[in-house]
Each structure stands twice: as structure tokens, then as C-alpha cells.
Structure 1
């Protein structure tokens, strides 16, 4: 038995705020956005870890290869954004760099959740441009925030 409960990485309210951002971003696109949060990214490069999780969450199996994963190891202050082939070919390397820059500006002000939310919104806008919602589109992946170890 623990004497002290484990402190949550994100509160339920913060998780719901991010889920709502994902749902809003995905409303007008066939693209999929997932958020994965864990405490530490030990002994692995954050992008390598993001690629592992990308496959674990089946983001590479979307119809148009337009899934995006936002990965965060909050206690280590590490992150990575992994976009699948379809979206990466449309937006290029500079797009991801700019999303990171904008997100980090929020982080520097202590606004981690707001930074993640803004990043989700910006990615959703790009997905809407390149992969607009079509009549037969379905939500291929869950919108929940995945919390790891």
C-alpha cells in the first residue's frame, strides 16, 4: 500500500481540455491526432520513443497515412511530434519546427497544457487543408489522452 498517491501527470480537467481540442481539430479532417504522456523517457531518444508509441497506437494504419502523435515525457521535459508519411509529405520539415517553436513558447511561460492544445489546433488546421473531411470519413482512432508510465 502506498502512503502517498501517485501525482497525476495531467488532471482529469486537463485531459478533457486536450480531448476537446483533438475532437475540434479532427472535426473537419480525415486526419488523426493522438497525445501520449508519460513521466520519463529513459535511455531512449524522444523521437525514437515517439516512433515506438506511434506504431503501438496504430497511427501508421490510418487510411491516408495522416496520423500525428504528440509525445511528452513531462518530468524529463522531453517531447516529440511524429507525423505519418501522408501529412509529412504535404507540410514538410519546417511545419513541424514551427509547431514546436510555438509550443515551446507556451511551455516557457509555464503553460504546458495550453501549449499542447495550441499545437493540436495548428496541426488540425493543416490536416483540414490537406485532408479535408469527406462524407465517408470515420474517426479511425480514439481521441483519449494516453498516459504511460
Structure 2
């Protein structure tokens, strides 16, 4: 086994879900879910948050990256399947200390990847200072501002709430 695979495996073993739950109190996650709902009333986007504590050993040994896991969650949660192709997934691999944003084709046509990377940095910076719920909230605020500017709601158009607003903690 390569040394860096062993180190990564060790990092993932150190973060079982119960340990990561301690960083994200239920009340904080519920507050973020409410703020997602409020945000979605201002723009056409549909936002999902996933915080994954760790990968299983097979995924780590197979070299699965946080970006690959984000794409898997994007598909599993149906973020790609919104009526207006406007889903956005903010994914956190806690053990890897990685943040990824995957946007559906309707959003990604107008939003350069650099914009999403800036939001990822905001979340990562907050996490590196131990401000976990605040990091998610700051990321949501920045995504909300971006989506509100580029995809504002237009009167008379139907905007179904295609995706659940709850933060997934896995």
C-alpha cells in the first residue's frame, strides 16, 4: 500500500459519523435548512448540502476523490433532475477537508467554475478555523447572492421546490 493511501485511510478512520455530528449540532443544521428554503424563494436555483464524514475503506483504497463522491451524491440525490436544470450541490468530504460544488447544466452555463471555487474556499477557510456550521452558512450566503444575481425569479413562472432542503450528514 502506498504511504499516502495509508495516511488517507487513517484520516478517514478518524472521522466516524458520530464524531462529525459533534461539529454540526442539530439546531445549526435545521437553521441552515431553513435558510436554504428562504434562499430558494429569491432565485431559480435548488440547493443541496451534503457533509460526508468519511469514505469507506474500499473507496479510499480505490482512490475515489471528493469530486467523484460529489458527482455520486449529485446523482443519488437527484440534484441533476430539477425541472429547470438548476440544481446545485455543495459537498463536503470532512475527512479529506475538501469542499466541492457541482452545478446542473442550466446553472453551469452561466456560472464560471472560479465562482464556485471561491465559495469552496470560503467554506474551507471557516472549517480550518473550527467554524463548521458558520462555514456552511457563509457558503450558502455566497451561493444565494450568486444565484439571485444570475437566476432571479421571474413573475408568472412556476418554481417548484424539487429538492429537499435538509442538510445530509452521512
TM-score strictly above 0.5: yes
Deviation at 1:7, TM superposition (A): 4.2
1:52-102 deviations in Å (ceiling 9; x for gaps) = 110111111112211111112223323311111111111111101211222
Give the SS at the match of 1:79: strand
Q: How many residues align?
A: 143
Moved more, 134-143 or 6-15: 6-15
Between 68-77 and 138-147, the greater mean CA deviation after superposition: 68-77
1:70 aligns with 2:93: no
Residue matched to 2:69: 49
User: Equivalent residues in 2 for 1:7-18 (5 A)?
Assistant: 7=19, 9=21, 10-18=24-32
Q: What TM-score, normalized by structure 1, do the two folds share?
A: 0.86
Mapped to 1, the partners of 2:20 and 2:124 lie a distance apart of: 22
Match of 2:52 among 31, 38, 42: 38
Say which of 111, 117, 142 aligns to 2:131: 111
Residue from 19, 38, 59 that aligns with 2:79: 59
Q: CA deviation at 1:144?
A: 0.8
TM-score (norm 2): 0.76
User: Which residues of structure 2 form unaligned runs of 5+?
Assistant: 1-17
The 3 A distance-change label for structure 1 pair 45 and 97 is same
User: Is the 1:30–1:139 Cα contact (8 Å) retained in structure 2?
Assistant: no
Alpha-carbon distance between aligned partners in 2 of 1:142 and 1:17, rounded to the nearest angstrom: 14
Alignment CA distance shift 1:83-1:15 (3 Å) = same
CA RMSD in angstroms comes to: 1.7
